[in-house]
Amino acid sequence: MRPRNAGTIVQVGSALSYRVIPLREPYCAAKFAIRGFTVSLRCERLHNAAPCG
């Protein structure tokens, strides 16, 4: 993304990344991890002053 100064990240999340239900803990944990990764990417982009679009 940096060399082209363009790109798109598509996140497929779920409401279960916010709320855990019984017997779905691994699924919920994976969705929470995706949400956390996306937030960290946003912070990195803001820190590096990359243009957001």
**Percent over 90 (pLDDT), the chain:** 0
Longest dimension (CA), the chain: 44
Q: Tell me what pLDDT residue 51 has.
A: 61
Q: Tell me what pLDDT residue 6 has.
A: 78
Which residues in the chain come in under a pLDDT of 70? Answer: 1, 50-53
Q: Tell me what pLDDT residue 21 has.
A: 86
> If phi over 0 gives left and psi between -120 and 50 gives alpha, with beta otherwise, what is residue 8?
beta
